[in-house]
Chain A
Amino acid sequence: MNKTIELLKKNTMLIALVIVTLFFAATTGGTLLAPQNIANLIAQNGYVVILAVGMLLCILTGGNIDLSVGSIVALVGALAGQLIVNQKVNIYVSILICLVVGLAIGAWQGFWIAYVRIPAFIVTLAGMLLWRGVALIILDGLTISPFPDNYLNIFNSFVPDPFGGEINILCVAVGVGISILYVVLQLVDRAKKSKKGYEMESIAAMAVKSVLICAVIIVLAYMLAQYKGIPAILILLTVIVLAYAYYTSRTVPGRHFYALGGNEKAAKLSGIHTDRVLFTAYVNMALLSAVAAMACVARFNSAAPTAGQNYEMDAIASCYIGGVSAYGGIGTVQGAVIGAIFMGVLNNGMSIMGIDANVQKAVKGLVLLAAVAFDVISKKRAKTA
């Protein structure tokens, strides 16, 4: 019984997400969970997931946030517009150039933050103004569009189904395949543990967890199969999320982010190059901003001077909703992703319900505060109880 309560406490935001989803599914008469809308949700919120993952690393290093994200998205988007639409440069070369520019911007900001030790808030605030300005200069204040189809297809298309038919069979097959792969990996891990005599979770707990996760994957796959199949952007998101989840939880450099945010002095005396870790966080953030920019111009089919506005706030809010500590050192990629989906469902649900955009903003503000307050209070209870 106690264990169940503990498990629920650990996953408060996940439960909140389920509740909110069910709420909107009910109030929208099921439209929220209609196959087409799910594909829509993914396309709409892809950029938030990408940015939230990057922002997680920045916040982990000690509660520092990156305010320049939206402006970098605008700048890189503008650059992509210039190269692809106006200069007709090969799209792959263009993407490469855009990513390199992202890296360069990150290196610039990371240098001031990590090596000169100017507070991240100030450096990125300057970046927010600077990169927006550069974006406007590149665009000359105008919007560039339309992008060629071969570029749009990279992000907006669906993986074609070789089988044809009513329902997208490939999509279902992939869903089932991933589920099987997950179970096999779990079993292999368990076998390894039992061979070496390590502690293991109970078989029942493992079974319940596996069944739930596989069910979610298969249901999602089945839903998508009813529409056009696997969206290309979903593949990109999956790769990014898995890679960063692995990086932060299972690798030595990933661990360094937590150490730096938890106690910088102790990290330094433990032989961690704290400057380098901080630098990496901001370079990475800018790189992911560039990736998000590529996805955004494809989705809107245009590079606009106002692109990316308030994106940094979406990313920061996702992290905080997802249980990332505002003081650094605590937080997971899974949490940030749940936060991003939470925001996405909220936006999408309210839009479908036809709630006024101004009201939506107010609600979002309240939800952010409520989510974090809920988390803080439940943790406080856990401590005294």
Chain B
Amino acid sequence: MAELLLEMKNITKLFPGVRALDNVNLKVEKGEIHALVGENGAGKSTLMNVLSGIYPFGSYEGEIFYNGELCRFKEINDSEEKGIVIIHQELALVPYMTIGENMFLGNERGRKAAIDWNETYAKADGLLKTVGLNESSRTLIKDIGVGKQQMVEIAKALAKNVKLLILDEPTASLNETDSKQLLDLLLEFKKSGMTSIIISHKLNEISYVADKITVIRDGSTIETLDKKTDDFSEERIIKGMVGRDLVDRFPKREKKNIGKINLEVENWTVYHPLYSDRKVVDHVSINVRKGEVVGISGLMGAGRTELAMSIFGRSYGTNISGTLKINGETVNLKNAQQAIEKKLAYVTEDRKGNGLILSNSIRINTTLAKMDKISHYNIIDRDLEIKVANEYKEKLRTKCPSIEQKVGNLSGGNQQKVLLSKWMFADPDVIILDEPTRGIDVGAKYEIYCIINRLVAEGKSVIMISSELPEVLGMCDRIYIMNEGRIAGELSQAEATQESIMQHIIKSGKGE
């Protein structure tokens, strides 16, 4: 048996009214990749916050042994000094600083009063090479993609002389290629002896990279699986997470009733709003029928979101050309309001940034896109509004104490449900879902899939943009594959496999 690097013993953490962690035990050996899985709110992030000193010693019960030594971290600097570095799900990089400046932020080279920029950038470049990132360390963070930013975070951790790297959902906003690259990098680090803990909802990634998996449910450790002795299949992990077998991850649609074309886009071309000579969407033609779920698959930056937003009342891009037909009639939507009037809905991928008013209540968010349904001559019928909001809360099974709850205080899955309520309330015929299950747990995902099925059963059309291939394969009747702004292929559900989709992407990338 290898040497233990970290042992967390009987950790209990109480929040007022909630037992967030209940006697949790975690053992991590030197040089392994240890995965932590569990549903949203199971306590994974809380446990890591205890470890890294964000919740200081004294605010929890239990003991932490690191390298055989009892640790009492009072703040994050204490744990970093020991080589424990945590990379949070929401990246902590300053957009208008260079990669190099970010990497050594709070850890500056040179003296306090005189930063040595030459050393900073030289070291930064070296570390960037280690993580396989082909960028100059003088590039601004805002000019590189999310995938590369994640790599910068890892390089930043390396700069702190990391021994135990904790990654909280590192691939949540990455596409398959970038994710693969990141995971391979972790395996590479493992060879050189580094230990990592990874939190992720993407179970295929976990079985690919992890040596051991600890499952947490409702604040307690359920089990630890070992690659050498245990079954690492996704079904097995899910069973541990939800406490039962989830027979079917994608609910079946009972009766398919696909009708005539509901929305059709022809020769749709969109240019970048700032760099007006850059084509973001290039002569795209797609359609969706009544009662059909159409997927748009592709890598990050393939132009999927841009396509969807430009269709939705020109909410993105300049110089948009092409025709848009809704129900056979050519329409010209100038803004989001006209799109809503034509019974179109766009559910954004960025629910916090573009979707919800976090400072407002569930009630106010629910009715926001279609307030004329709850008002007469612009006067709001507050009683009706409360009734409607409660109805949608019940219908989508949003977990919240009341509809007056601020949306900002809800979990990701419940926020997504509020966002869906809002657009279902707008009563659309065509609903575009952009990454509808990003960052939410298996159980909530299943519920969202059920909602999608209910929508198409009512004869509505759904366009689903997703980077998760299993989800696209499991839910869509037809799949468009998009790459570099163009449609690279179209597959029926029967034809589509992970391989065939990737092949289309690679082929179109080569310009064939």
Residues 373 to 421 of chain B near chain A (Cβ within 8 Å): 375, 378-380, 382-383, 386-387
A252: interface (CB < 8 Å): yes
- B375 and A252 contact, CB distance less than 8 A: yes
Q: Does any Cβ of A come within 8 Å of B127's Cβ?
A: no
Interfacial chain B residues near A252, Cβ < 8 Å: 371-372, 375, 378-380
The interface bits of chain A over 250-287 (1 if a CB of B lies within 8 angstroms of the residue's CB, else 0) are: 11110100110111011111111100000000000000
Chain B count of residues within 8 A CB distance of the other chain: 33
- A273, chain B: closest CB distance, angstroms: 7
Cβ-neighbour of B315 out of A250, A268, A384 (below 8 A): A268
Once the chains are docked, how many angstroms separate the CA of A268 from the CA of B383? Answer: 26
> What chain B residues lie within 8 Å of A262 (beta carbons)?
357-360
Query: Which residues in A have their C-beta under 8 angstroms from that of B386?
Result: 198-199
Interface 1/0s, chain B 334-365, versus A by CB < 8 A?
01110110000010100001111111100010
Interface residues of B (CB under 8 A from A): 16, 312-313, 315, 335-337, 339-340, 346, 348, 353-360, 364, 368-369, 371-372, 375, 378-380, 382-383, 386-387, 422
* Cβ A196 vs Cβ B383 within 8 A: yes
A266 with B356: in contact, given A198-B383, A271-B336 (CB under 8 Å)? yes
Complex CA gap A94/B401 in Å reads: 55
**Closest Cβ–Cβ distance, residue A278 to chain B (whole Å):** 15
Query: Is the Cβ of A266 less than 8 Å from the Cβ of B354?
Result: yes
Q: Can you name 28 A-B residue pairings with CB atoms under 8 Å? A: A192-B383, A193-B383, A196-B383, A198-B386, A199-B386, A250-B379, A250-B382, A251-B378, A251-B379, A252-B371, A252-B380, A255-B371, A255-B380, A258-B357, A259-B364, A262-B360, A263-B356, A263-B357, A266-B353, A266-B357, A268-B336, A269-B315, A270-B369, A271-B335, A271-B336, A272-B336, A330-B359, A384-B16
Chain B min CB distance to A244 (Å): 14
Q: Measured between alpha carbons, how far is A384 from B16 in the docked complex, in Å? A: 8
Range of interface residues on A (Cβ < 8 Å): 20 to 34
Q: Specify the chain A residue showing the minimal Cβ separation from B372.
A: A252
Q: Which residues of A contact B355 (CB under 8 A)?
A: 266, 269
For A200, give the chain B residue with the smallest CB separation. Answer: B383
Please report whether the interface of chain A is mostly helix, strand, loop or mixed according to DSSP.
helix
Determine the distance from Cα of A250 to Cα of B381 in the docked complex, in whole angstroms: 8
Who on chain B is nearest to A265 by CB?
A: B354
Q: Is the CB of B364 within 8 A of A255?
A: yes
Q: Which residues of the partner chain B approach A325 to less than 8 Å between Cβ atoms? A: 359
- Are the CB atoms of A259 and B380 closer together than 8 Å? no
Indicate whether A385 reaches chain B with its CB closer than 8 angstroms. Answer: yes
CA distance A359 to B206 in the complex (A): 66
Q: Report A91 CB to chain B, min CB distance, Å.
A: 33
Contacts of B339 in A (CB 8 A): 271
Whole-angstrom distance between the alpha carbons of A255 and B365 in the complex? Answer: 11
Known pairs A268-B336, A269-B346, A273-B335; A259 contacts B357 (CB<8 A): yes
Check: A329 CB closer than 8 A to any chain B CB.
yes
Q: Which residues of A sit under 8 angstroms from B312, Cβ to Cβ?
A: 269
Contact of A270 among B16, B336, B358, B372 (CB under 8 A): B336
